[in-house]
Amino acid sequence: MSFDSDVPFVDPAGAGGVAGWRLEQSYAKLPESLYSTVGPTPVRSPRLMVLNCPLAMTLGLDADALAGEAGVQVLAGNRFPPASVPIAQAYAGHQYGNFVVLGDGRAVLLGEQITPGGERFDVQLKGSGPTPYSRRGDGRAALGPMLREYIISEAMHALGIPTTRSLAVVATGEDVWRQDGALPGAVLTRVAASHIRVGTFEWAASQRDEAALRALVDYTLRRHYPELVGADNPSLALLNAVIERQAALIAQWMLVGFLHGVMNTDNMALSGETIDYGPCAFMDAYDPATVFSSIDRHGRYAYMNQPRIAHWNLARFAETLLPLLHAEESVAVAQATEAINCFTSAYEAHWLAGMRRKLGLFGEEQGDAALVGSLLGWMQEVRADFTNTFAVLSPASAVDVPPFADAAFLSWHADWRARLGRQPQRAAESAQLRSANNPVVIPRNQQVEMALAAAVAGDLGVMERLLDVLARPYDHERVVASEYRQPATDGGAGYQTFCGT
C-alpha cells in the first residue's frame, strides 16, 4: 500500500522480536484531540483460547511465537510488542439515533502491523482495561462475547465479506461483573484495515475542529482510497467513495442474511469493513422484519432496515464534511445531498447483481427483479430457510422435498428454469456461479451458542470444529454434519442476542 507514515520504525527488540512484530503508529501523528496515549492494563493469568494461524502468517507473525509464553503476554496486554505506541481512539456516534460522545472505552490500538507484502493493519486489543473514554465501564470484556466476535468475524471473512478479523482470544483469569453475575474475562486481538469510524468524524465535527477534520480526510484517503489522493475536492471524493463501499457492503450482508444488530454510526468503518460484532446473527427463516438484539425493541436495526440505516448513517457522515466541502454552506449542502442521494440506487444495483449471481443469471433481463421478488415472497410466506433455499438451487438439487414440493415454489422454479434456458451455452458456468455465491454453511445460532457454552466451560473442541466448518462455506462437495446446516426448529424466531459488553 502506498501509505507513507512519518513515524520512523523503531524496533528495540531487533528483527521485530521473535514473533515478527513490525508496528508503526501513524494514527498518533494526527491531532491530539483524536486519541489518548494509554496502554492496556495487565491481567492476572492469561491463557490462550484460540489463535488464528493463517491470519498470523498473512500479518508476518510467527504463530508458534505468539502461542508461546511471551507471545500470549503480548496478546493479553501484559507486555508491549516492540515499537508499540498504544493509544485509545476518540470518537462519538449516533446510538439508536441519539448523538453521544464515546471513544475506545475498552480497547487500545497497539499499532499498525506492516505485513511482508507492505500492507498496513491495525492491531487492537479489545477488553484491555480502562481508558479515558471508559465512562462508568470497567474496560473489560467477557470471554463468551469475545469468542463470539472471533467466530462470526472469521465466518464473514470466509464468506468473502469485508470485515475486521480476529487474531486471538486470551482468557484473562479474572472475572468481569455483568448483569448475570461474574463471568470469565478475555481480551480479543482484532485486526482491521483501520478503526476509523463515521463516529470519528462526528467527534472532530462536534469539536468544531476543522484542522482535525481535514487531517482525518487526508489520512483516510491515504490509507483507504489512495487513488483519490490529490482529488480536486478531497472531502467530496471521500464521501462518494465511502458511500459506494458501504452500498456494496450492506448488499453483501443482505445477500447472506446477516444482521449486524447495532448499526450505530460509531460501528460503521470508513474502510468498508464490517466492524463491532455485538448482537449480530444470521437469519434462519426468511423474514424481512427479523430482529435478534434484545435491546432493539422497535426494530430500528431489523434485517430489512439495514440499507435505510446505512443511508441515514452516511448522511451523518456527510454532515461532518460540510465545512470542508465548500466555503459556501448552501453549495456544500447541495454537494452532500447529491452524493447521499446516490446511496439507494448504488445499494440496489449491488443487491440485484448479487441476487443474479445467487440465481446463476448472466446478463440483465427486465423480469429479473420480479423473479427475485417472487422467490423472496414465497420464502417469507412459508418461512423457508434463507441459506438452505439458495443452497438447494446451487447444484439445482432435487426440489421434491418440503418446503419445495409446493405449487407456488414449483411455479417459480419453472420461471427460473425458463430464464436459465435463455442462456443455454452457459449451464455449467451458471451452476458454478451459484455455488460460489450461495453458502452451504453459515454460523447457525444454536451452533454458535453451543460452541460458546462448551468453550466457557473449558471444552474448546466444539468451537474448533465449528470454525473448521465455517472456514469453507462455499464448498458444496464437502460433507458436513447435518446439524451445521439445520435452522433452529422455530426458524430462529425466538432467538435473542445481547450487546457484548
Binding residues for ligand AMP (CB under 6 A): 102-106, 134, 137-140, 267, 276, 278, 499, 501
Give the C-alpha separation, 36 to 154, whole Å: 29
Q: Choosing among ligand AMP, Mg ion, none, which partner's interface includes residue 137 (Cβ < 5 to 8 Å by kind)?
A: ligand AMP
- Which stretches of 279-422 are DSSP H helices? 306-325, 329-340, 343-358, 368-382, 386-393, 407-421
Q: Which amino acid is at 307?
A: P
Which of 255, 259, 216 shows the shortest CA–CA distance to 238? 216
| Residue 20 main-chain phi, psi, to 5 deg | 95, 20
Residues in the chain, overall count: 501
319 CB contacts (<8 Å, ≥6 apart)? 205, 336
Q: Choosing among ligand AMP, Mg ion, none, which partner's interface includes residue 103 (Cβ < 5 to 8 Å by kind)?
A: ligand AMP
Give the C-alpha separation, 118 to 458, whole Å: 38
> Which residue's C-beta sits nearest to Mg ion?
276
Question: For ligand AMP, which is the closer residue by CB, 189 or 335?
Answer: 189
Give the C-alpha separation, 310 to 303, whole Å: 12
The H or E element that residue 59 is part of is helix 53-59
Question: For ligand AMP, which is the closer residue by CB, 176 or 355?
Answer: 176
Question: For ligand AMP, which is the closer residue by CB, 274 or 394?
Answer: 274
For residue 405, the minimal CB distance to ligand AMP (Å) is 44
For residue 202, the minimal CB distance to ligand AMP (Å) is 12
DSSP helix, strand, coil percent of the chain (3-state; round to 5): 45, 15, 40
Cell of 296: 432493539
Give the C-alpha separation, 108 to 87, whole Å: 5
Question: For ligand AMP, which is the closer residue by CB, 238 or 452?
Answer: 452
For residue 397, the minimal CB distance to ligand AMP (Å) is 40
Which of 264, 265, 337, 262 shows the shortest CA–CA distance to 302? 262
Which of 254, 184, 194, 189 shows the shortest CA–CA distance to 221? 194
For residue 305, the minimal CB distance to ligand AMP (Å) is 18
Q: Catalytic annotation on 266? A: yes
Residue numbers of the site for Mg ion (CB under 5 A)? 267, 276
Q: Choosing among Mg ion, ligand AMP, none, which partner's interface includes residue 20 (Cβ < 5 to 8 Å by kind)?
A: none
Cell of 70: 511471551
166, β-bridge pairs: 190
> Which residue's C-beta sits nearest to ligand AMP?
137
* Residue that the C-alpha cell 427483479 belongs to: 369
Q: Choosing among ligand AMP, Mg ion, none, which partner's interface includes residue 105 (Cβ < 5 to 8 Å by kind)?
A: ligand AMP
For residue 266, the minimal CB distance to Mg ion (Å) is 5
Q: Choosing among Mg ion, ligand AMP, none, which partner's interface includes residue 104 (Cβ < 5 to 8 Å by kind)?
A: ligand AMP
For residue 499, the minimal CB distance to ligand AMP (Å) is 5
For residue 207, the minimal CB distance to ligand AMP (Å) is 17
Question: For Mg ion, which is the closer residue by CB, 244 or 276?
Answer: 276
Q: Which member of 266, 284, 287, 296 is catalytic?
A: 266
**CA-based R_g, the chain, Å:** 23
Give the C-alpha separation, 373 to 375, whole Å: 5
Question: For ligand AMP, which is the closer residue by CB, 269 or 455?
Answer: 269
Question: For ligand AMP, which is the closer residue by CB, 267 or 305?
Answer: 267
Residues taking part in catalysis: 266
